[in-house]
Amino acid sequence: MKQFAVIGNPISHSKSPEIHTAFAAQLMIELNYIKLLADEGQFATTAQAFFEHGIGANVTVPFKEEAMQFADTLSEDARLAGAVNTLAKKNGQIIGDNTDGIGLVRDIRDNHGYSLSDKRILIIGAGGAARGVILPIARETPASITIANRTHEKATLLAKQFNALTNITARPLTELNQPFDIIINATSTSLSGETLNLNPAIFHSAGLAYDMMYGNHPTAFMQLAEKYGTNAVDGLGMLVEQAAQSFQIWHGTRPETTGVIKKIRAQLKEPSKN
């Protein structure tokens, strides 16, 4: 049977095996998808051993940069994201890709029905997740992308890196006061339940507030956006869509995602599983 895995630390919470198993059942493909816990400093050894027989692996926190070093060749998305979340073995070579940004765009555009074209986009955060979504968002030809981060220097660096590709600027988080159409929270604040201190003016004409984090109840960021009258969604669809893109890279065919998003959402709501 074809072997697949997700490698991370921690890894027990990962939904990737369930998502890929659901895609495979839908397309009648036989596969085995496991969780692999790698110790710090052991990513390459773990991945090397897996790829003796394995065909594809997803990579999650904290190994996405190490996975980039491990790959023999990189896609443009992975190179510009500076991180790899999908490894595929083809003709003896390990190819590194990053499907997080495509996953976000497909979820916003196709699942939630919000075009990014000609829109003023605000990305809050300048970590790995923010960096990984800039190129796929830029491909949708937005009017502008603004990056705002607690550590402003990191946002400035990101804007500099991508400004040849798109209309992108960095603004200090505390100075944000202009309206946006789509606001994306790419910080890890929702993990800790922290609320970002944001000027309400940024929500005045926003159609959508998107939190990359997901869970069994609306995040603090979603609650804030809803308080100011903005439709808010979480990042579960992004998770399933990035998995669908990895699945396509490995199997050459695209699974249907709507039913899988519903299935994982229902599981999140079961108290015994959280």
Q: Which residues are catalytic?
A: 64
Residues 6+ apart with CB under 8 A from 61: 8, 9
- Of 109-117, 144-152, 174-182, 265-273, the window that binds ligand NDP (rule: CB under 6 A) is 144-152
Contact flag: residue 238 with ligand NDP (CB under 6 A): yes
- A 10 A CB-CB count for 168 gives 23
Contact call for residues 101 and 120 (beta carbons, < 8 A): no
Contact flag: residue 127 with ligand NDP (CB under 6 A): yes
Site string for ligand NDP, 175-194 (x = CB under 6 A): -----------xxxxxx--x
- Work out how close the CB of 52 gets to ligand NDP at its nearest, in angstroms, rounded to a whole number: 28
Contact call for residues 244 and 103 (beta carbons, < 8 A): yes
Contact flag: residue 153 with ligand NDP (CB under 6 A): no
> Which listed residue (68, 100, 119, 162) binds ligand NDP by CB under 6 A?
100
Contact call for residues 28 and 56 (beta carbons, < 8 A): no
Residue positions counted in the chain: 274
> Which listed residue (159, 208, 213, 225) binds ligand NDP by CB under 6 A?
213
Q: What share of the chain is helix, strand, coil (3-state, %, to 5)?
A: 40, 20, 40
Contact flag: residue 223 with ligand NDP (CB under 6 A): no
- Of 5-13, 37-45, 70-78, 124-132, the window that binds ligand NDP (rule: CB under 6 A) is 124-132
Q: What stretches of the chain adopt beta strand conformation (E)? A: 2-8, 31-37, 56-59, 73-74, 86-90, 93-97, 120-124, 144-148, 168-170, 182-185, 208-211, 231-233
The rounded distance, in Å, linking the Cα atoms of 204 and 223 is 15
Contact flag: residue 77 with ligand NDP (CB under 6 A): no
| Omega of the bond leading into 10 within 30 degrees of 0 (cis) | yes
- Work out how close the CB of 116 gets to ligand NDP at its nearest, in angstroms, rounded to a whole number: 17
- Work out how close the CB of 80 gets to ligand NDP at its nearest, in angstroms, rounded to a whole number: 15
Which residues contact ligand NDP (rule: CB under 6 A)? Answer: 100, 103, 125-130, 149-151, 154, 186-191, 194, 196, 212-214, 235, 238-239, 242
